[in-house]
Chain A
Amino acid sequence: MTTMPAQPTTNGAAAPAAPRPGEPLLEVTNLVKHFPVRGGVFNRVVGRVHAVNGVSLTVSRGEILGVVGESGCGKSTLGKLVIRLIEPTSGSIKFAGREITGLGHAEMMPFRRKMQIVFQDPYSSLNPRMTVRAMLREAMLFHGVVEKSAVDDRIDQIIQTVGLRPDAAAKFPHEFSGGQRQRLGIARALALKPEFIVADEPVSALDVSIQAQVLNLMMGLKEEFGLTLLFISHDLKVVEHFCDRVMVMYLGFVVEEIACDRLHNDDNSIGALHPYSQALLGANPIDDPDDRRPLTVLQGDVPSPYDLPRGCPFAGRCPKVMDRCRQEMPPLVERPSPAGGPPHRVACWVV
Chain B
Amino acid sequence: MLEIRSLVKSFGSTPVIDGADFAVAERSFTVVCGPPGNGKSVLARMICGLVEPDQGRILLDGRDITGTPPGSRNIGYVPQSFALFPQYSVESNIGYPLRVAGEDKAAISAKVRDVAAMLGVQDILPKRVDQISGGQSQRVSMARGLVRQSSLYILDDPLVGLDFKLREQFTEDLRLLQQDLGATFLYFTSEPLEAMALADTVGVLSGGRFVETADMPEAYLDPQHVDTALTLGFPRANKMTAKVSRNGTSTTLTTNFFTATLHDWHADVDQVELVVRPEDLSLLPREGTLHVPGDLELIEDLGGESIVYIRGGDEPQLLTAVTGSDAPELHGDIKGVWFDAHALMTFDPATGRRISGAIGDAS
Asked whether A and B interact, the reply is: no
Residues of chain A whose beta carbon lies under 8 Å from any beta carbon of chain B: none
Residues of chain B whose beta carbon lies under 8 Å from any beta carbon of chain A: none
